[in-house]
Amino acid sequence: MFDDMDELATDYDERVRKAREQKGLSQSDLANELNEKASLIRKIERGDTLPSDRVQSKLERFLEIDLSAEGSSGDDSEWSGGSSSGSYTLGDVVKRKD
């Protein structure tokens, strides 16, 4: 079910801010263009909130950017640690704070 969904890039906030600034828009201007609240744009640019799919689409179309994780670096690559048998325990995953 979730295989069709794109993951949001970890630097989505920076991408939105840079694209907005390149167009010479204030946060209020961008909010008006997208018919959204300026407070939402501020929260997105600070990384305090994730944009909904609808807002993400609006941002990508208007700012001509891609906010999906596919275009970003391989920081989210699959973890390869654990036992050779392929089964993992909690101890394989958790780091202790000793």
> Does residue 97 belong to any structural domain of this protein?
no
| CA-to-CA separations, 62 to 10, 26, 73, 77, 93, in angstroms, rounded | 20, 14, 24, 30, 41
Contact 16, 67 (CB under 8 A): yes
> Does residue 22 belong to any structural domain of this protein?
yes
| pLDDT per residue as tens digits for the range 9-46 | 899 999 999 999 999 999 999 999 999 999 999 999 99
Residue 45 identity (one-letter amino acid): E
> Does residue 36 belong to any structural domain of this protein?
yes
Domain at 20, CATH number: 1.10.260.40
> Does residue 44 belong to any structural domain of this protein?
yes
| CA-to-CA separations, 27 to 16, 31, 48, 58, 70, in angstroms, rounded | 10, 6, 15, 14, 26
Of the pLDDT bands very low, low, confident and very high (cuts 50, 70, 90), residue 1 is: very low
> Does residue 72 belong to any structural domain of this protein?
no
> Does residue 91 belong to any structural domain of this protein?
no
Locate 10 and state its tokens: 């970890």
> Does residue 39 belong to any structural domain of this protein?
yes
Query: What's the predicted TM-score (pTM) here?
Result: 0.66
> Does residue 56 belong to any structural domain of this protein?
yes
> What's the total number of domains in the chain?
1
Listed as own residue / partner, the contacts of 21-26 with beta carbons closer than 8 Å and 24 or more positions apart are 23/63
Question: Which residue segment(s) compose the domain that 20 sits in?
Answer: 11-63
